[in-house]
């Protein structure tokens, strides 16, 4: 249990500190004003929500085997957890789609501030819509096993069919569809960048640097996917 406590504590501290620093750097740093800066800030905010609303409550539930917080907190916590996951996944899809458009149409596809705002608005509307279901179906319930009493925090659906339909819907929107989109877009981006060559006569030093850059791009794309 001591090892688990240390692990959860370090993970929470690193997640919160790291994402706060990312937001500060991309907000204040003059050298970090890339065209996907709004999406990177949004991704850090989504991950920060996860660190605040997921790790502490998950940790306490795992360690104590019961829900120790107020019952109204249960649907709110589950809603925020789903919100952070959905926003993070949708933001990654937006970044992948943007990188694809930049490579395919380099002169037309730069993300403007107004366009980024609309995309981010759509991301959060979708995330809120998907996660708000938890406010309706999640609740904390008392469970008795003889003299043993615990409180569980989980989804309570009227029928098993409704639960399965919603679970499948969430799986499609937050895993299968994003995985397909990111796999296709980053694969195309990787292939196009790998085939791209620098105009002019061959130069060993320049070509070696370009090859190393291509390898870095390949590794980065693999990590993203």
- Tens digit of each residue's pLDDT (9 = 90 or more) over 74-102: 999 999 999 999 999 999 999 888 888 87
Other Cβ atoms within 10 Å of 50 Cβ, number: 19
The per-residue pLDDT for 15 is 87
39-68: per-residue pLDDT in tens? 989 999 999 998 888 888 888 887 888 888
Between these two residues, 176 and 213, which has the higher pLDDT value? Answer: 176
pTM of this structure? 0.80
Q: How far apart are CA 25 and CA 17, in angstroms?
A: 12
- For residues 95 and 46, the answer to whether their CB atoms sit within 8 Å is no
pLDDT above 70 (res 203): no
pLDDT above 50 (res 202): no
pLDDT band, very low/low/confident/very high, at 198 (cuts 50, 70, 90): low
Q: Left, alpha or beta for 200 (phi > 0: left; psi -120 to 50: alpha)?
A: left
Report the pLDDT averaged over residues 145-165: 90
Q: Which of 10-14, 34-38, 107-111, 122-126 has the lowest mean pLDDT?
A: 107-111
Q: Left, alpha or beta for 176 (phi > 0: left; psi -120 to 50: alpha)?
A: alpha
pLDDT band, very low/low/confident/very high, at 206 (cuts 50, 70, 90): very low
Helix (H, G, I), strand (E, B) or coil at 209: helix
Domain extent listing, the chain: 2-224
Other Cβ atoms within 10 Å of 225 Cβ, number: 14
What average pLDDT does the structure give for the chain?
A: 81
12-43: per-residue pLDDT in tens? 888 889 889 988 888 886 665 567 788 989 99
Report the pLDDT averaged over residues 95-119: 76
Between these two residues, 59 and 151, which has the higher pLDDT value? Answer: 151
- For residues 198 and 206, the answer to whether their CB atoms sit within 8 Å is yes
Between these two residues, 201 and 165, which has the higher pLDDT value? Answer: 165
User: Alpha-carbon torsion 30, 34, 38, 42, what sign?
Assistant: negative
The per-residue pLDDT for 209 is 53
CATH superfamily of 2-224: Rhodopsin 7-helix transmembrane proteins (1.20.1070.10)
Residues written for the chain: 225
pLDDT above 50 (res 204): no
Distance, CA of 200 to chain centre: 41
pLDDT above 60 (res 215): no
């Amino acid at each position: 249990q001591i090892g688990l406590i240390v692990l959860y504590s370090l993970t929470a501290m690193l997640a919160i500190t790291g994402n706060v620093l990312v937001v500060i750097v991309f907000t204040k740093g003059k050298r970090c004003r890339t065209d996907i800066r709004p999406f990177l800030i949004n991704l850090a905010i989504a991950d920060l929500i996860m660190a605040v609303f997921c790790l502490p409550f998950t940790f306490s539930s795992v360690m104590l085997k019961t829900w120790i917080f107020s019952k109204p907190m249960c649907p709110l916590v589950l809603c925020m957890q789903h919100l952070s996951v959905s926003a993070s996944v949708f933001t990654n899809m937006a970044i992948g789609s943007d990188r694809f458009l930049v490579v395919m149409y380099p002169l037309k596809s730069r993300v403007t501030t107004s366009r980024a705002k609309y995309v981010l608005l759509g991301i959060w509307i979708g995330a809120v819509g998907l996660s708000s279901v938890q406010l309706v179906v999640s609740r904390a319930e008392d469970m008795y096993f003889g003299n043993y009493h615990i409180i569980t925090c989980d989804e309570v659906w009227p029928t098993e069919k409704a639960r399965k339909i919603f679970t499948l819907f969430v799986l499609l929107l937050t895993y299968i569809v994003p995985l397909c989109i990111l796999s296709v877009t980053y694969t195309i981006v990787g292939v196009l960048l790998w085939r791209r060559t620098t105009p002019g006569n061959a130069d060993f030093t320049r070509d070696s640097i370009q090859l190393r850059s291509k390898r870095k791009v390949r590794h980065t794309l693999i990590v993203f996917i």
